[in-house]
Amino acid sequence: MSSESEVRDLLTRALDADEAGQKELAIDLYGQAVESVLRIENREKRDKLNKFAKQALERAEVLKGIKYVPPKDLKVVPQQPVQSSAVPGRSPVHSPRLEVSGARSGYTNEEKKVLEYTSHINSKVYVPFMDIDLHEKFIFSIPYTDRDGPLELAPKQKRDFVQWIRVSELSENPQLIAGDHADFYSIRQTVVSDCSFVASLAVASLYEKKFKRRILTSIIYPRNSRDEPIYNPCGKYSIRMHVNGIPRKVVIDDYLPLGKYNQLLCSYSSNKNEFWVSLMEKAYMKLMGGYDFPGSNSNIDLHALTGWIPERASIRTKDPDFNADAVFNRLREGLSAGRCLVTVATGELSDAEAERTGLVSTHAYAVLDMQEIDGVMLLQLKNPWSHLRWRGNYSELDAVHWTPELQQQLNYDPKLAANYDNGVFWIDYNSILNFFDVFYLNWDPALFQYTYCIHQSWNAGVGPTKDAYNVGDNPQFSLTVPAGKGSVWILLTRHITSIEDFRENREYITVLVYKNNGKRVYYPCKFRLSNSR
């Protein structure tokens, strides 16, 4: 938590450096002053210092020779308001705004308050990632140390922890990425319970290799003249992550947890000179409050990493409306065309089932490929542990189903695969339906030509508990979609400011859809078409 005296001290030092012609130092101090203002919890004091923060930011931009322009993700213009059915004394129907590339407009005062309030995550401040951050200082006279201190370790890490160690002490030739792309095969999860995050790294890095488009490594800074992320000998990195409504800046140093057997106690690359996996995980764990992470799912993780739009596809074999073939075909087409990223997760498995199948209970797997050959639906998965594979049909142990023709078409030799367990395996779709619970998809936002975005707050305590018998106090919107004009997707993201809230899932938000001629709805069961959590 910052104080007014700290802010004024930073501003004084920044001005002194500015007058002395020490441009780099001045820019850094101006930036620290801005962040210190945002860390002040007392709103009255923070508002008092806001004008100084604005002046500091403007002066830093002048010193860097740039003019601030809101990032593309934040560019919005007012659009025609939706039809209002507001009632005096009740929550109004708000007007969403259409995001248009190249447009210039600001947020409403309510949106600014929401985005500023939810910058405070797990007692730290994560400011919006802006154009000025593209010119951030990464070179220092001494190695950079994160002023937020070391991350909280998970119990399994604490058991073997010896020390925090810098990347430069782990390798004589450290690199952020070895080779011309991030290699999904090299990713290995260890004792941190973040299998969905590691699976997300795998599918996103595979996408980069396959489609030659940076959707993951584009968020890491510093970068070289070819716009590639690079190792920083000074130990400072900035990661741009989509969280609480907008892209935000997560700054880390390169200290990593080391165990008593000289092993990294975090996810890592099997290439001992490559550190992008460990550093990206550290940034996400910092955002989430530390390595003592309760776990997540790939919808959340991939949205934070890439901004791609999440969708959850439950595997409901007992539901008469569940069309397994349609689900497979939709996922396969989206995956092969590069329109979506896919992971899949198991449900609860007994110890006997886990031993027999080789699958891990409630565990996320990266989906690398989907194929249908001669009527057989197959998926290629990767266990984030980089070991322990499926033992059933179409595994490397299967001596019945692997015909020479199928091996040739998939370029796969089960006998060769059996010699080395890297966690990658083929599995038939029927086995997926039997042992897995859900597919997590994230869709390329470029597919959505027109989007509306609203940031607002709503007191969940207003109105009846859990909307049991009245939704009249809930925020409501009227939407008209002409017949045959396409589908409408709605994405709700509840801003999380505490890991305990994330861990316990205390609250959730949902959409209730009604057909009521654009009029406000009061009774939750009447006129309802559907709902989505």
Q: Is-catalytic flag, 383?
A: yes
Strand pairing category for 340-346 and 309-314? unpaired
> Domain for residue 421, yes or no?
yes
Q: Give rounded-to-5 percent helix, strand, coil for the chain.
A: 35, 20, 50
Dihedral angle computed from the Cα positions of residues 147, 148, 154 and 157, in that order, rounded to the nearest 10 degrees: 0
- Cα–Cα distance between 313 and 324 in angstroms, integer? 11
Residues 19 and 120 in one domain: no
How high is the pLDDT of residue 65?
A: 63
Statement to judge: residues 239 and 339 lie in one domain? no
Assigned token pair, 500: 């305990």
Please indicate, yes or no, if residue 488 is contained in any of the structural domains: no
Q: Please answer whether residues 452 and 79 qualify as being in contact, where contact means their C-beta atoms are separated by less than 8 angstroms.
A: yes
CATH code, domain carrying 52: 1.20.58
What is the reported pLDDT for 30? 83
Whether 268 and 206 map to the same domain: the answer is: yes
Closest-CA residue to 257 (of 374, 132, 150, 110): 150
Chain length of the chain = 533
Q: 172: which 2 tokens?
A: 């004589």
Same domain, 294 and 335: no
Which residues partner with 369 through β-bridges? 380
- Cα–Cα distances (Å) from 117 to 217, 283, 496, in that order, read 29, 21, 11
Residues 149 and 287 in one domain: yes
Instruction: Clarify whether residues 329 and 302 are in a common domain.
Output: no
Q: Is residue 60 part of a domain?
A: yes
- Identify whether residues 116 and 47 lie together within a single domain: no
Helix (H) and strand (E) counts in the chain: 15, 19
Q: Does 148 map to a domain? A: yes
> Annotated catalytic residue: which of 122, 232, 299, 383?
383
Which of helix, strand or coil describes residue 441? strand
Assigned domain for 49 exists: yes
Same domain (yes/no): 132, 174: yes
Q: β-strands 452-453, 436-443: how paired? A: unpaired
Residues 300 and 367 in one domain: no
Contacts of 133 (CB under 8 A, 6+ apart): 221, 238, 240, 249
Q: Which two tokens stand for residue 29?
A: 């101090």
Token digits of residue 485: 């004009």
Question: Which listed residue (94, 242, 303, 363) is catalytic?
Answer: 363
Residue 356, domain extent: 325-443
pLDDT (tens digit, 9 = 90+) per residue, 343-352?
999 999 999 9
Q: Are 202 and 366 in contact (CB under 8 A)?
A: yes
Question: In this predicted model, what pLDDT tens digit does every residue of 470-522 receive, in sequence order?
Answer: 778 788 888 888 887 778 899 988 898 888 877 776 667 788 888 888 888 88
453 catalytic per annotation:
no
Give pLDDT < 70 ranges for the chain.
1-2, 19-20, 64-105, 460-468, 505-507, 526-533
- Do the beta carbons of residue 117 and residue 126 sit within 8 Å? no
363 given a catalytic annotation = yes
CB proximity list for 374: less than 8 A, separation 6 or greater = 406
Task: Give domain status of residue 300, yes or no.
Answer: yes
Asked if residue 34 belongs to a domain, the reply is: yes
State residue 98's pLDDT score. 38
Last residue of a domain, one of 420, 443, 466: 443
> Does residue 298 sit in the same domain as residue 361?
no
Buried (b) or exposed (e) across 40-53, using 16+ Cβ within 10 A? beeeeebeebeebb
Indicate which residue of 122, 195, 297, 474 is catalytic: 195
Same domain (yes/no): 334, 294: no
What the block records as the tokens of 381 is 């998965």
CATH label of the domain that carries residue 431: 3.90.70.10
Structurally, the chain folds into a number of domains equal to 3
pLDDT at 364: 97
The answer on 436 and 346 residing in a single domain is yes
Three-state secondary-structure class, residue 311: strand
Distance CA 365, CA 202 (A): 9
Domain boundary (246, 271, 306) is at 306
pLDDT at 529: 67
301 within some domain:
yes
